[in-house]
Chains A and B, each alone.
Chain A
Amino acid sequence: GENVEQHPSTLSVQEGDSAVIKCTYSDSASNYFPWYKQELGKRPQLIIDIRSNVGEKKDQRIAVTLNKTAKHFSLHITETQPEDSAVYFCAAGYTGNQFYFGTGTSLTVIP
């Protein structure tokens, strides 16, 4: 099956700075790469996703890039705010099928 690795496991940034989280995957057949944000005690919420036919996608302060050749994808958060503090999970898989999750990155934005 798919194996997803995520780095770093913890990340602290000053408010206003950028944060980058990186993931690698093993199965070249994976075609869908969602990112989830999970606040303490709450459900994971989809924040952005990218499909294998696209190299980059942006939604306001959040962007995701995908390098299919290298089998890695990254989440970029610009102008970070305290409310961005949460655990972020990357995932990889096929649409309509199960996703394999990374181990999570705990992001802390320091005011």
Chain B
Amino acid sequence: EAGVAQSPRYKIIEKRQSVAFWCNPISGHATLYWYQQILGQGPKLLIQFQNNGVVDDSQLPKDRFSAERLKGVDSTLKIQPAKLEDSAVYLCASSAGGLFGYTFGSGTRLTVV
């Protein structure tokens, strides 16, 4: 089966600019997650979708981050405006739910200068 697709792989932007990341989950996976992984740390959940609805966005900095999954398939995560501390790898993961774990995409490495 095809894996979780993410793009772009790398992005360098200046602080205060905006950026968007895209994720296409494994076909049929209803649950989609966006994680932020800062260098040297474990992944931290930003937002969880079930189909096109938000399950948990309690750790999403909503003043600057937004995410959507309009048709319940692919998803976009946006940062506007970016700060230096947003430099991290943004990982998307998807799950079939139930008793299954989930699969990560390759991630987008964001550098804010």
- A interface vs B, CB < 8 Å? 4, 6, 32, 34, 36, 42-46, 49, 51, 89, 91, 95-104
Among A44, A45, A103, chain B packs the most CB atoms within 10 A around the CB of A44
Closest 7 CB pairs of A and B: A101-B42, A96-B97, A43-B104, A98-B45, A34-B101, A43-B106, A95-B99
Instruction: Determine if B98 and A96 form an interchain contact, defined as CB atoms under 8 angstroms apart.
Output: yes
List, sorted by A's number, 13 A–B pairs whose CB atoms are closer than 8 Å: A6-B42, A34-B101, A36-B104, A43-B91, A43-B104, A91-B42, A95-B100, A96-B31, A96-B97, A96-B99, A101-B42, A103-B42, A104-B40
The answer, yes or no, to whether B48 is at the interface (CB within 8 Å) is yes
Q: Measured between C-beta atoms, what is the minimum distance from B89 to chain A in Å?
A: 9
The answer, yes or no, to whether B76 is at the interface (CB within 8 Å) is no
A103 to B77, CA, bound (A): 24
Instruction: Determine if A42 and B106 form an interchain contact, defined as CB atoms under 8 angstroms apart.
Output: yes
A32 to B31, CA, bound (A): 16
Among A51, A96, A100, chain B packs the most CB atoms within 10 A around the CB of A96
Which residues of chain A have C-beta atoms less than 8 A from B104's C-beta? 36, 43-45
Which residues of chain B have C-beta atoms less than 8 A from A102's C-beta? 42
